[in-house]
Structure 1
Amino acid sequence: MMVPSPVIIENLSFRYRSRSDFAIRNINLTVDQPQVVLIAGASGCGKTTLARCINGLIPRSYKGELSGKIYLQGQDIAGLPLARISQLVGTVLQDPERQILGSMVMNEVAFGLENLGLSRDEIRRRVDEALERLKIAHLRDRQTHYLSGGEKQKVALAGVLAMKPSILLLDEPLASLDPASAQDALEVIRSLADEGMTVLMVEHRVEDVLRIQPERVLFMKDGEIQYDGDPQHLVERVDYREVKLPAPMIMELAVKDPPPPPLNILPGVNSGGGPLVEFKDVAFGYESGPEVLHGINLQIRRGDVIAVLGPNGAGKTTLVKHAIGLLKPKRGKVLINGKDTHQLSVAEIASTLGYVFQSPSHMLFAPTVYDELAFGPTNLKHPEEQIRKEVSQAIEIVNLQGYEKTPPLSMSFGQQKRVSIAAILAMRSRILVMDEPTAGQDYKNYMNFMNSILEMPGFEAILFITHDLDMAVIYANRVLLVNDGQVVADGAPAEVLSDLERLRQCRLLPTSLLETNLKYYPRTQQFFRAEALTHYLASGE
C-alpha cells in the first residue's frame, strides 16, 4: 500500500482582506518523506502566511482571497475542522504569548492532550516525556506568567510535541531562545525527523539551522519560492546581505564587493559626566516567589552601547525593567539622572528611557502604524510638525515606508517588531532600551535598522538584550553577562566574549563570527562584521 506524501501544496495563493497585494503567489511544494525543511526569507516575504495556510488558520481565522489546494497525509484540508487539522500538523507560533493559555506549565502542556480525551495516566506520561526531552522538567510546576520569553517558547513546543503530530510546523522557534537552548531544540527537531516526523521550520537563524543538516531549504521572496533545493547550493542563489550565513562563507563572497561604510556610532556623544542610570545593590523578587535579582551594581554612562547576554530565565528582562521604572527594587536603589525610581512615574522616566518590549503584542494597540508611532510623542507634548517629522524618520529607519495606514496587528511578527521599535524611536528618548530587537527579523533588515539607530543623533546610550552573540560582536562597546540574577561579567566585548568557558556556563555558544574575530584579534585589536573584516584583512592594515 502506497503511503501518501506528508505535504502537497498546489498553486497556492492568498491575499489578506485588509491588503491590496497577494501575500503568497503560486506556491507549489511536495514533501515526500520525513525530513527537515527550512523555510527562509526576508521579514514579510510570506513565510508566516504559508504556515497559516498549512495549519488551517487561513482561511478560518485570517480572512481573504485564497486559491489552490493543500493535502496533509493525503487529506485535502479545505473541508476539515481546525481540530482535525491540528492532529495532523502541530504548530508552534512565532510569538509564544499568543499560544500559551494555561496558568501552570503542566496544565499548558496537557491542554491539547485533554482535548484528545486521553486517560490521565497517558496525559501525565506524555507531559513528562515532552518536558524531559526539551530539558525543562524543572519548570513543570511553575506559573507560565513568570516564565521568560525563551522558557515560554520551550513550553509551547513541549505542548505540541506531547500531541505527537505527524507534521511539525515551527514559525521562528529559535527567536527567543538562548544559543544553547536553540541548539538543544534543533537537536530534538533533528531527532524527530530521523524518527519519522516531517518538520517544516520557518527561521531567520539560518546559520544555526544549517548545523543540523536540513534535507531541504526553501528561500522565499515577495510571496514566491525563489529557491528549493539542498543547503549546499543555497549560497549560490541568495544574497549574503539578506540571509545570515556562516562568517567564512560571507567573507568568501564579500571579498568581490566594495567594503561596507564604517559606522559612526552615537555621533556627537562624549563619554563622561555622571551616570545616566545607576543600580545600587538592587535585589528583586516577584510577589511571594524566589529572589530573581541579587546585589546588582552597575552604571549606564553616556556613549555606552551595551549588549546584555545570558541564558533564558537569568533575569535579563527583569533587570532592564528596573532601568525603565516598570519594576521597583525590593532592596537597593535605581537612580535615573540621580533620582530614585521610587519617586518617579513611568511617564516621567519615558522622556529619558524608551523601552521596546520583547513581544510586540505587549505594545501595539493603535488602528494604524502612523497612529502607533505618533502616540508617544503626542503624550510627551511634542509639537504637531515635529511629530510628523519624528514619525516619518522612524518609519524610514525600520524600512516600513508605505505601511503608514496599515493596522499593526495585521502585520507579520517581524514587521510588528519593527513598528514597536519605530514607536520608541519617534519619542526621541535619550536612552534606547531594546529587548530582543532582532527577534523575527531577517539579517538585512536588522543590520539596516541597527546601523540607522546607532547613527541617530539624540541617543546618549543604547542597551539591548539579545541572544544573538553577533549583535554584541558587531555593535556593542560593552557586554553584560547575566546569570542566576547576577551580573557575572561586565566589560569590553573582546574581554568578556573571549572567555569561552564562561560563555558556555551562561548557555552561550561561540558563533562563526566570534571565532573568526578572536582568531584575527591579535592583529586587528577590534571586532568587525564579516564583510568589514574581509576588507580590513585584505588591506593589510
Structure 2
Amino acid sequence: MLLLAGSSGCGKTTLARCINGLIPRSYKGELSGRILLHGQNAAGWPLARISQLVGTVLQDPERQILGTRVLNEVAFGLENLGLPRVEILERVDRAVEHLGISALRDRETHNLSGGEKQKVALAGVLAMRPSLLILDEPLASLDPASAQEALALVRRLIDEGMSVLMIEHRVEDVLRIHPDQVMFMSEGRVRYQGPVAGLEHAVDYREVKLPAEMVIARAAQEPQAQFPSPAIRRSLGLARPPLVQFEGVRFGYDAADSVLHDINLEIRPGEVIAVLGPNGAGKTTLVKHAIGLLKPTAGRVLVQGRDTHELSVAQVASTLGYVFQSPSHMLFAPTVREELAFGPTNLGHTPDLIQQEVQEALKIVNLTGLEADPPLALSFGQQKRVSIAAILAMRSRILVMDEPTAGQDFRNYMSFMDSILAMPGFEAVLFITHDVDLAVVYATRVLLVSQGRIAADGPPEEVLADTGLLTRCRLVPTSLLHANLERLPRTGRFVRAEALARV
C-alpha cells in the first residue's frame, strides 16, 4: 500500500489518471516517460484492458455513479465484461456485504447520502476484482466509524494480495492501517517517498494533519503562534431573537419513510454550530429545511420569524448561504469569476461591490489567480473552495456549509475556516462535518444527529466528552479530542493542537 498525500491541486489525481489510463486517453495533454503495469508498458493498451487491472474510485461519487439503483450500479462493470448473470449477482452481493451496505442493494442511488454513494462506488469497483485499487479521497464523505470500517476493509484487501494506491488528506486515519510507503507531493513533484517513519520530519505539520501529540511536541519547540480571533461572538445572541427556528419538524421523502422526527432547535446570532452524525442520519436533510430547499411535512421552520412555506429559496438566500456537499451540484459558470459573481448579481449588488466581494472571497479560499479558469476543470478540493467562495461573495447573514473540509488539504481548510470566522459579516455559521477535530477547534455548539433526531445539543466540551454517545452516533474520538479532554481542567475550553503546546 502506498499513501499519496499533498495539497489540493498538487497533481495527486493527475498522477492517478496516468496510472489508470484516463491520461492520455480521456484527458489530453503532453505525456512523457513510461507507465508500467505488471512490468509491461501500457501505452498501447485500450482503456478496457487497463480497467480490468486497475480499479478507481473517484473523489466525487456523483461523477462515477450511473445506475438508477444500487444493484444496477454495482453490476455495471461486470455486465460490460459479459459475465454470467449468476456470477454477477454473487459478486454484487459479496461486494455490498463486504462494505456493510446490503440494506442499500435495492435503493435508488439518487436518494442516497454522499457517504452512502461513496460506498456504492467502491462496491462497484471491488466487484471487478482488480489487482490494483486506486482510491482518490475515499474517506472524504464518510463518517468516522464508516471510515474506520472502510480502512479495515482496505487493509483486508491488501492482506489478501491486492495492491492499493490511496490518495487521502486524512493522513492520521490512514496511518492506523500501516501503509508500506508514503509519498508526499507538492506542485507536481515528489517531495518525499519512503517509509512512514520519515514523514514526520519531511513535512510541515501545518501541511499534513499528524497525530495531536506529535504536533504538540513539534509546536513546543517553535515560537508561540498567534491565531485569529473569531469575529462571531456567542454573547451576541443572548438578548436577540433567533435567526432560525425549528418547531416540531417532521419530514419524509415519501409517506412511508420518515427522515426527520420532531426536530426542535434555534440558531441564534453569535453561534458557530457543528452538526455531527453518521451517514444517512438526516444532517443534510435537516439543513435543507433551514434554507427552504425542503419543506416540513409537519411542524414549521421560521427564518427571521417567517415560515419557509411562505418564502422562496431566493428570499431565504439573503439570510442563509448554503454550500452543497458536492461541488457539481453548484458549479455551472464558464469561469471562476463568473461563478462567484452570479449570486451577488442576482441579489442586486452593484458592479463595484461585486468585484470587491469576488476578490475578497478568492483571497479567503486561496484561489487568487484562477479567476479565468473553468470551475469544473479544477481539482475536487479546488472546486469545493470555489463553491464556498461563491457563498462568501453573497454576504449572507448565516453561512451554512455541508462537509466544507471534504477533499481539502489540512493547510487550506484551516486557513479558510480561520478567515471565515474572522469575517465580521456573518452573524452565525453552521457546518455539517464528519471531522470531529473541526468541531473541537471551531464550534461553540455541537448538534449530534442520529436516526433523524437530535441526540445531543450543547457546548463541544460537554457533548464530545461523552464517548459512549459518540460511539452510538458512529463518531470516533480523535487524538486531538483526547489531548483536549486531558488538558481541559487547565484550558477550560477546546483549542487546536499548537495551542496545547503552551499548556
Give the TM bin, normalised by the shorter chain.
over 0.9
Per-residue CA deviations over 1:455-507 (Å, capped at 9, x if unaligned) read 00110000000000000000000000000000110000011000001101110
Following TM superposition, by how much is the alpha carbon of 1:75 offset from its aligned partner in structure 2, in angstroms? 2.8
Paired position in structure 2 for 1:293 = 260
TM-score (norm 2): 0.98
The one-letter code of the counterpart of 1:205 is R
Partner secondary structure for residue 196 of structure 1: coil
Paired position in structure 2 for 1:88 = 53
Partner of residue 475 from structure 1, selected from 425, 431, 442: 442
- CA gap of 1:194–1:373, structure 2 versus 1, over 3 A, is same
Paired position in structure 2 for 1:341 = 308
* Residue range with higher mean Cα deviation, 159-168 or 77-86: 77-86
Following TM superposition, by how much is the alpha carbon of 1:62 offset from its aligned partner in structure 2, in angstroms? 1.4
Report if aligned partners of 2:233, 2:271 keep a CA contact under 8 Å in 1. no
Q: Aligned partners of 1:400, 1:363: CA distance in 2, in Å?
A: 17
Q: Establish whether residue 177 from structure 1 lines up as the match of residue 142 from structure 2.
A: yes
Paired position in structure 1 for 2:214 = 249
Q: Aligned partners of 2:408, 2:119: CA distance in 1, in Å?
A: 20
* Residue range with higher mean Cα deviation, 108-117 or 259-268: 259-268
Per-residue CA deviations over 1:302-345 (Å, capped at 9, x if unaligned) read 00100000000000000000000000101110000000000000
Q: Aligned partners of 2:41, 2:123: CA distance in 1, in Å?
A: 27
Q: Aligned partners of 2:272, 2:233: CA distance in 1, in Å?
A: 14
Paired position in structure 1 for 2:389 = 422
Q: Establish whether residue 118 from structure 1 lines up as the match of residue 83 from structure 2.
A: yes
The one-letter code of the counterpart of 1:531 is E
Paired position in structure 1 for 2:237 = 271
- Pairwise CA RMSD of aligned residues? 0.9
Partner secondary structure for residue 370 of structure 2: coil
Q: Establish whether residue 394 from structure 1 lines up as the match of residue 322 from structure 2.
A: no
The one-letter code of the counterpart of 2:221 is K
Q: Aligned partners of 1:191, 1:277: CA distance in 2, in Å?
A: 46
Partner of residue 142 from structure 1, selected from 87, 107, 120: 107
* Residue range with higher mean Cα deviation, 132-141 or 147-156: 132-141
Per-residue CA deviations over 1:12-47 (Å, capped at 9, x if unaligned) read xxxxxxxxxxxxxxxxxxxxxxxx100000111100
- CA gap of 1:289–1:398, structure 2 versus 1, over 3 A, is farther
Q: Establish whether residue 195 from structure 1 lines up as the match of residue 160 from structure 2.
A: yes
Q: Give the share of equivalent positions with the same residue, in percent.
A: 69
Per-residue CA deviations over 1:139-163 (Å, capped at 9, x if unaligned) read 1111111110000000100110010
Report if aligned partners of 2:232, 2:422 keep a CA contact under 8 Å in 1. yes
Following TM superposition, by how much is the alpha carbon of 1:440 offset from its aligned partner in structure 2, in angstroms? 0.6
Q: Aligned partners of 1:95, 1:207: CA distance in 2, in Å?
A: 21
Per-residue CA deviations over 1:201-237 (Å, capped at 9, x if unaligned) read 0000000000000000000011011100011110010
Unaligned ranges ≥5, structure 2: none
Between the two proteins, the alignment pairs up a number of residues equal to: 501
- CA gap of 1:56–1:289, structure 2 versus 1, over 3 A, is farther
Following TM superposition, by how much is the alpha carbon of 1:60 offset from its aligned partner in structure 2, in angstroms? 1.7
Paired position in structure 2 for 1:413 = 380
Paired position in structure 1 for 2:419 = 452
Partner of residue 307 from structure 1, selected from 270, 274, 281: 274
Alignment of 1:503-522 (within 5 A): 503-522=470-489
Report if aligned partners of 2:233, 2:270 keep a CA contact under 8 Å in 1. no
The one-letter code of the counterpart of 1:271 is G
Q: Aligned partners of 2:393, 2:500: CA distance in 1, in Å?
A: 33
Q: Establish whether residue 61 from structure 1 lines up as the match of residue 15 from structure 2.
A: no
Paired position in structure 2 for 1:4 = none
Paired position in structure 2 for 1:223 = 188
Following TM superposition, by how much is the alpha carbon of 1:289 offset from its aligned partner in structure 2, in angstroms? 5.0
Q: Aligned partners of 1:262, 1:64: CA distance in 2, in Å?
A: 42
TM-score (norm 1): 0.92
Following TM superposition, by how much is the alpha carbon of 1:56 offset from its aligned partner in structure 2, in angstroms? 1.1
Following TM superposition, by how much is the alpha carbon of 1:81 offset from its aligned partner in structure 2, in angstroms? 1.4
Q: Aligned partners of 1:483, 1:266: CA distance in 2, in Å?
A: 31
Paired position in structure 1 for 2:286 = 319
Following TM superposition, by how much is the alpha carbon of 1:121 offset from its aligned partner in structure 2, in angstroms? 1.1
* Residue range with higher mean Cα deviation, 285-294 or 173-182: 285-294
Q: Aligned partners of 1:434, 1:259: CA distance in 2, in Å?
A: 31
Report if aligned partners of 1:153, 1:173 keep a CA contact under 8 Å in 2. yes
- CA gap of 1:479–1:349, structure 2 versus 1, over 3 A, is same
Alignment of 1:487-506 (within 5 A): 487-506=454-473
Report if aligned partners of 1:283, 1:296 keep a CA contact under 8 Å in 2. yes
* Residue range with higher mean Cα deviation, 252-261 or 305-314: 252-261
Following TM superposition, by how much is the alpha carbon of 1:76 offset from its aligned partner in structure 2, in angstroms? 1.9
The one-letter code of the counterpart of 1:318 is T
Q: Aligned partners of 2:189, 2:301: CA distance in 1, in Å?
A: 50
Paired position in structure 1 for 2:96 = 131
